Amino acid sequence: ANEPAQRGIAVVVLEAGPRFTADDFENDEYAMTAKFGWHDKRVFEGTTEAVAGWPDEPASMCKGLGGTTLHWAAMCPRFLDFELRTRSAYGPIEGADIIDWPLSPAELAPYYDRAEDKMGVSGTHGIPRHRGNNNYRVIAAGARRLGYTRVDANNMAINVEPRDGRNACDQIGFCMQGCTSGAKWSTFNVEIPKAEATGRCEVRPQCMALKIEHDDSGRVSGVVYADPSGAQQMQKARAVCVAGNAIETPRLLLNSASPAFPDGLANAEGAVGRYYMRHMEGFVYAEFERPVRMYRGIQCGGVVRDDCRDDPSRGFVGGIYYFLNGTHLPYCASDLNPHGWGRALSEWIEAYERIAAVCIYGEDLAVATNRVSLHATEKDHYGLPIPVAHVDDHPNELAMRNYGQKTACAFYEAAGARRTHEAYRMPTSHNMGSCRMSEDPRAGVVDKWGRSHQVPNLFVSD
């Protein structure tokens, strides 16, 4: 919205949720999940642990102006070379359908530079890193004792010092609840206000996009949406950029089927909704003799990078990051054992002040059957089919997670942990895929600019 508005182009933003203010943010994890979560009905199927634990909602999204940038932890690692050319680097992998990105590191570099400078990413362009908290010091000590060297306080789009009209970080945690400090970059507090200041961007909150219309030539002509009263309206457009996250974006395109596009808009090759991804994810908790107080400071203000490399001798392809995971007591308790209770869990809760925590992230592989589709019979209150997401874990992902969790346990044991705990997958906010980029129009939905291969004035911009 901001970039075209800055260049003189009139923009309308249709936002399904409300418009928040900074006063709406609370340093309360569950209160904010209830306030800005996307709670519309959806169904998840498959064999992954998150589906078994949360059949209705194993994916976190935000419904409100600012989208999931309200919730994101603000970590900003760049893609590495092998991550942009997975098919060339890994070769064929049974059960996966991986391709190289239609982008190179050299092509992306100037855009990374612009984004990091605009967002004030720590550790880039002369911007200092944040000071490490206790949670960081613990894992850094353990990793270095095991010979790991690429350990730092992370690249965060959270101000170290006042910048671009935003406050410096107050180091109070709760980074994923909207940021009451006003230090974290999000579209809510940076891009949308700047776009509106041009006089060329109109934001319409509580306006849910229902269908994208097209003309006789096959070019999109506008968007049908429900206004705050529920009445349907039509917004004409010369171009449409869909940014509904990796579940609602394909749902909108599939719900935009017409005689000219019987399988959904931009879906000539059947790729819309396919290759849904959400990162390999695991958690490790460790109890120490003395207080750690992991909740103080930035939630994800530290990383171990050494294992983010492609080394198939470890039993999997792809790389792993170990990011800090400093949660407050309610989330920590549910993350440790989301559906359990008893002495074992209560002993961990009692040790909360002495707990350190890390999350392990790696890239899950593109699998054609991991996909977002439309429910055959169930509809939402607008009369549209609700989304169904099918997710199975690929063996590579399970091997990667097992290696990562065992390594993280070793970090903590080297730092003197009394005990460690490996937690399983939670609902994730790292929703990706489902409208993937491709050089070959038969292999994806959009080109390297995010433009639909099939519809020249339709873009996927999230």
pLDDT tier for residue 388 given thresholds of 50, 70 and 90: very high
* pLDDT more than 90, % of the chain: 88
Those residues with Cβ within 8 angstroms of residue 238's Cβ, 6 or more apart along the chain or in another chain: 457
Q: Which tokens go with 443?
A: 């292999």
89-103: average pLDDT = 97
5-14: average pLDDT = 98
418-436: average pLDDT = 87
DSSP letters, 252-310, are HHHTT--SSSTT-TT-TTS-TTBS-B--EEEEEEEE-SS---TTSS-TT--EE-TT-S-
What is the pLDDT of the chain when averaged over all its residues?
94
Contact 177, 166 (CB under 8 A): no
Residue 58 above 70 pLDDT?
Answer: no
Cβ count within 10 A of residue 424: 17
Contact 285, 356 (CB under 8 A): yes
Please name the amino acid found at residue 157. A
E strand or H helix at 140, and its extent?
A: helix 134-145
Q: Which of 325, 333, 396 is nearest to 360 (CA)?
A: 325
Structure confidence by residue, pLDDT tens digits, 97-121: 999 999 999 999 999 999 999 999 9
Structure confidence by residue, pLDDT tens digits, 306-359: 999 999 999 999 999 999 999 888 888 878 876 678 898 899 999 999 999 999
pLDDT at 55: 73
C-alpha pair distances (Å), 361 with each of 303, 396, 408: 11, 13, 12
Structure confidence by residue, pLDDT tens digits, 252-269: 999 999 999 999 999 999
Q: How far is CA 61 from the centre of its chain?
A: 8
pLDDT tier for residue 56 given thresholds of 50, 70 and 90: confident
> What global pTM score does this model have?
0.95
pLDDT tier for residue 399 given thresholds of 50, 70 and 90: very high
Q: Which of 294, 323, 298 is nearest to 77 (CA)?
A: 323
DSSP 8-state secondary structure symbol assigned to residue 363: P
Structure confidence by residue, pLDDT tens digits, 158-175: 999 999 999 999 999 999
Residue 154 above 90 pLDDT?
Answer: yes
pLDDT tier for residue 185 given thresholds of 50, 70 and 90: very high
127-138: average pLDDT = 96
Residue 95 above 70 pLDDT?
Answer: yes
Residue 417 above 80 pLDDT?
Answer: yes
* pLDDT more than 70, % of the chain: 99
Residue 288 above 90 pLDDT?
Answer: yes
